[in-house]
Amino acid sequence: MTDSPSAPTSRRRRGFLVFLRDVLVIIVIAALVSFVVKSFVVRSFYIPSASMERTLLVKDRILVDELTPRWTPYERGDVVVFKDPGGWLEGIPQAPPQPPLVEAVDWVLNFVGISATDSQDHLVKRVIGLPGDHVVCCNALGQITINGAPIDELSYLNLPEGDTAASNEPFDVVVPDGAVWLLGDNRDRSRDARAHQDLPSGGFVPIENIVGKAFLTTWPLDRVGPIDGHHEIFNGVPAAE
C-alpha cells in the first residue's frame, strides 16, 4: 500500500507543528526561568541620575544581588537599590509616557529581566548607618562619625575641587531598628537621607524596602566591573551600643 500524494505534505505539516510547539515551550520555560531569576536572584537596573557619581554614572546599567541579603545582613558601605519609602521621588521628573506598543514590549522585556523599565521607581544609595548606629556630621575635619569613630570617605566621594567635607548639611541621627541611613556618593547632588528628615520616616529607609545589593556594572562596556563597597573604610567603626 502506497502513501497518498498528500501524505508527505501532511507529515511535513505535523513536523512543523511539533517543531513550533517545542520552540514555544522552550520560549515559555526560558521566560519563566528569567522571571524567577529576576524576582529572587539578580535584577538589572539603570542609573537615571548623577547622585552616585563617581561610583555610578548616568545611564550605567547595574546588576543587583537579591539573594545573598536574604541570609547575610547588609554592611556599611554596601551600594543598594531600594523602593521609595515615601516622599523621596516627589518632584523628580519621570520618563514621559510611551506609546502603548512600546509600553507592551517594555513590559514583556522587564518581565523576563532584559529591560529595567521600573528603574525610575527605585533609588540607589550607599549604606552609611545600620540599625542602632549614631551617625553625626561633621567633625572638625569634615568627616562623618559613626558611633564616635570618624570615617574617611574621600576615596569614593564626588566633591567639588578643594572641598573635603563629607556633607555640607549637618545631621545627628540614631538609626532605628529595621532601618538604614543612606547617602549618595555625589553628596552635593544627592537628595538622600539628609533631605528627607522632615518626612514621617525621618529620612531612614526600612530594610524591607531594599531590593538588593548592587555588585556589578554591566554597561557601557568600558565601565564593566564590580561595584566597590569600600568596606575597609568602616572597619574601625565600633558596634552600636
Q: How far apart are CA 193 and CA 202, in angstroms?
A: 8
Please give the mean pLDDT across all residues of the chain.
83
**pLDDT bucket at 94, cuts 50 / 70 / 90:** low
Q: How far apart are CA 81 and CA 225, in angstroms?
A: 17
pLDDT reported for residue 43: 86
| Higher-pLDDT residue of 155, 241 | 155
pLDDT reported for residue 105: 46
Whether pLDDT at 76 is above 80 = yes
155 catalytic residue (yes or no)? no
Q: How far apart are CA 183 and CA 113, in angstroms?
A: 27
The answer to whether the predicted template modeling score (pTM) of the entire model surpasses 0.85 is no
**pLDDT bucket at 69, cuts 50 / 70 / 90:** confident
| Higher-pLDDT residue of 169, 12 | 169
Tens of pLDDT, residues 5-57: 566 666 667 766 766 776 676 666 655 555 544 555 688 898 989 999 999 99
Going by C-alpha positions, the residue among 167, 173, 169 that lies closest to residue 133 is 173
- The pLDDT of 189-213, averaged and rounded, is 95
pLDDT reported for residue 14: 72
Start-to-end C-alpha separation, the chain: 91
pLDDT reported for residue 230: 97
| Sequence-ordered alpha helix ranges (H) in 41-143 | 100-111
Whether pLDDT at 93 is above 90 = no
CA within 13 Å, CB half, 55:
29
Going by C-alpha positions, the residue among 234, 207, 175, 201 that lies closest to residue 73 is 207
User: Of residues 44, 49, 51, 190, which has the active-site annotation?
Assistant: 51
**pLDDT bucket at 143, cuts 50 / 70 / 90:** very high
User: Of residues 44, 125, 167, 201, which has the active-site annotation?
Assistant: 125
pLDDT reported for residue 162: 84
Going by C-alpha positions, the residue among 117, 80, 87 that lies closest to residue 102 is 117
pLDDT reported for residue 60: 93
| Higher-pLDDT residue of 150, 28 | 150
Whether pLDDT at 121 is above 70 = yes
**pLDDT bucket at 112, cuts 50 / 70 / 90:** very low
125 catalytic residue (yes or no)? yes
Question: How far does Cα 78 stand from its chain's mean position?
Answer: 11
**Cα torsion angle, 238, 182, 209, 37, sign:** negative
Q: What are phi and psi of 39, to 5 degrees?
A: -80, -30
